Amino acid sequence: MTDATANGKPQMLTTADGKPLKEALNRAQARARRKAFLLVLPLLAFILITFVTPIAQMLHQSVYNEGFVMHEDIGSGERTPIMTNIKTWFDENPAGTEPNEEAFAALHKDFLLLRELRAPGQAGTRVNYERGGSRSMFTKTARRAERMEAPYMEAFLDVDEEWTDPELWRVMRDASSAYTFNFYLAALDRTKNVDGEIVNVDENRQIYVKLFARTLFLSVLITFLTFLLGYPIAHLLATLPLRYSNLLMIFVLLPFWTSLLVRTTSWMVLLQSQGVVNDALVGMGLLGDDNRLQMMYNQIGTVVAMTHILLPFMVLPLYSVMRPINPSYVRAARSLGATSWTAFRRIYFPQTVPGIGAGALLVFILAVGYYITPALVGGADGQLISNLIAFHMQNSLNWSLAAALAALLLAGILILYWLYDRLIGIDNLKLG
């Protein structure tokens, strides 16, 4: 580096090779940033591919369904627009317009194409998501499309009188656009009437909001139970001598070394009517053989099994916070006249709050998305919203509704995370 002055005048600082110092520093910092970026690039790519991209696809699927407007050949992958004529009629006529002969003529042309492409079931399935029985009506109509003659309205009514149902035409109008928010309405037990107004579905069909409420209630209950059981276990781990606490830690971690399916089926053996727990209670005379407890295929089974499975996720954050706490703090409080309860409440417990928050957040998030355990031991009363999402993915094949339910569940988790940050502070989150 050259001197800062020459002949009494300030000079530009340079490096040994004559380059300006500021430029050399900027280039060195740029190289350091590139190296840092290259180091984190694999992790960033992994997060984008395995986390961000699937969530983005899920959110897109929740508002997109082209089953009524586009057909894709499975063998060749060729995509063909369908239902274009009736879509044109919808575009030219406002919502609420009664279908006329022109509308049925356009529908007849579309059914001829559906028959040729063997796709009436696909279009009918999309409508069937919002109006039950539509798929069979579509396939039945497609079989007779070639024999139909004008007037087409009468021809369609000969096939099925439901073709004049205003609700059917309202659903077809909505389905004529690949993008729709109707799946979110369905996920909230809402729908649209023939006038396009948002209304509640029939009371006997309102299942999703109740299931969300049940999922929230059971997740909060499981989180509270894991706290009650995990707090003394973590305290014992933190205060025992190291050789004993290490042995106890092995027992805490032991469930992680066993398959989740094995642990769940073990609870099935224990909790069933003829299981170990009921047999023990009957053997001790606490229960009659005809009055065995029903602890399977209900909420009791779900709560017991999930509390056991998620308990380590509460113990470990609590232990990581309790271990560094100096026991002399409590001894000093007691030496100054505080009772054991006062010392615990005012000295020890506040220092464990970050671990409680971290464990509760972790357990709750895992609980609301659990699937295998409620499916096996929960029955109809103990299943959570995740089980219904899986049903729509695997059985009903209504992926858009499943995506909408999952998106609402994700939104709830994000709101919980925001509340945690506002009430406790994410900076106080300690997982280890």
My answer on whether 93 and 162 are in the same domain is yes
My answer on whether 147 and 52 are in the same domain is no
Provide the 3-class DSSP secondary structure of residue 276.
helix
My answer on whether 242 and 377 are in the same domain is yes
| pLDDT tens sequence across 111-169 | 999 999 999 999 999 999 999 899 999 999 999 999 999 999 999 999 999 999 999 99
Contact 215, 384 (CB under 8 A): yes
My answer on whether 370 and 232 are in the same domain is yes
Contact 323, 238 (CB under 8 A): yes
Considering only 89-103, 138-152, 162-176, 235-249, which range has the smallest mean pLDDT? 235-249
pLDDT category of residue 432 using cuts at 50, 70 and 90: low
Task: Name the strand (E) or helix (H) holding 71.
Answer: strand 70-72
CA distance 139 to 125: 10
Domain end call among 14, 30, 61: 61
Asked whether the predicted pLDDT for residue 273 surpasses 90, the reply is: no
Maximum separation of any 2 CA atoms in the chain, in Å:
109
Average pLDDT over residues 356-378: 89
Average pLDDT over residues 311-315: 94
Q: For 179, which DSSP code?
A: B
Backbone angles phi, psi at 198, to 5 degrees: -80, 125
My answer on whether 333 and 257 are in the same domain is yes
**pLDDT computed for residue 1 by the predictor:** 47
Domain end call among 205, 238, 263: 205
Number of helices (H), then strands (E), belonging to the chain: the values are: 20, 6
Contact 412, 368 (CB under 8 A): yes
- Any idea which residue has 């309202």 for tokens? 170
My answer on whether 189 and 224 are in the same domain is no
Can you list the alpha helix ranges (DSSP code H) found in 323-431? 328-335, 340-343, 349-368, 372-373, 385-394, 399-423
Domain end call among 205, 220, 238: 205
CA distance 199 to 192: 6
CA distance 394 to 297: 21
**pLDDT computed for residue 353 by the predictor:** 87
| Cβ within 8 Å of residue 420, ≥6 positions away | 357, 361, 426, 429
My answer on whether 31 and 98 are in the same domain is no
My answer on whether 304 and 374 are in the same domain is yes
Average pLDDT over residues 301-324: 92
* CA torsion through residues 11, 14, 20, 25, sign: negative
Asked whether the predicted pLDDT for residue 389 surpasses 80, the reply is: yes
Q: Is the peptide bond before 151 cis (omega within 30 degrees of 0)?
A: yes
How many folded domains does the chain comprise?
A: 3
**pLDDT computed for residue 170 by the predictor:** 94
Q: For 14, which DSSP code?
A: B
**pLDDT computed for residue 431 by the predictor:** 55
CA distance 292 to 89: 64
CA distance 270 to 44: 44
My answer on whether 74 and 180 are in the same domain is yes
Asked whether the predicted pLDDT for residue 231 surpasses 80, the reply is: yes
pLDDT category of residue 368 using cuts at 50, 70 and 90: very high
Chain mean pLDDT for the chain: 89
Total-model pTM: 0.86
pLDDT category of residue 49 using cuts at 50, 70 and 90: very high
My answer on whether 222 and 148 are in the same domain is no
pLDDT category of residue 382 using cuts at 50, 70 and 90: confident
CA distance 135 to 359: 47
My answer on whether 11 and 98 are in the same domain is no
Asked whether the predicted pLDDT for residue 3 surpasses 70, the reply is: no
Average pLDDT over residues 317-323: 91
Task: Name the strand (E) or helix (H) holding 359.
Answer: helix 349-368
Identity of residue 236: L
Provide the 3-class DSSP secondary structure of residue 100.
coil
| pLDDT tens sequence across 101-125 | 999 999 999 999 999 999 999 999 9
CA distance 398 to 187: 12
CA distance 128 to 186: 13
Identity of residue 228: L
Q: What percent of the chain has pLDDT over 90?
A: 53
Strands (E), 75-197: 79-81, 190-192
Contact 344, 287 (CB under 8 A): no
| Cβ within 8 Å of residue 358, ≥6 positions away | 317, 321, 429, 430, 431
Contact 100, 152 (CB under 8 A): no
N residues, the chain: 432
For the record, the structure tokens of 380 come out as: 């109809």
Burial track 326-362 (b if 16+ CB lie within 10 A, e otherwise): eeeebeebeeeebeeeebbeebbeeebebbbbbbbbb
The half-sphere exposure of 341 on its side-chain side, counting CA atoms within 13 A, is: 0
Contact 403, 58 (CB under 8 A): yes
Considering only 4-13, 20-29, 248-257, which range has the smallest mean pLDDT? 4-13
Contact 371, 387 (CB under 8 A): yes
Contact 353, 204 (CB under 8 A): no
Asked whether the predicted pLDDT for residue 6 surpasses 80, the reply is: no
pLDDT category of residue 19 using cuts at 50, 70 and 90: confident
Can you list the alpha helix ranges (DSSP code H) found in 118-198? 120-128, 134-143, 152-159, 166-175, 182-187
My answer on whether 266 and 396 are in the same domain is yes
Structural domain for 17, as ranges: 5-61
Asked whether the predicted pLDDT for residue 260 surpasses 60, the reply is: yes
Asked whether the predicted pLDDT for residue 75 surpasses 90, the reply is: no
Task: Give strand pairing partners of 171.
Answer: none
Q: How far is CA 383 from CA 306, 341, 368, 389, in A?
A: 12, 40, 11, 11
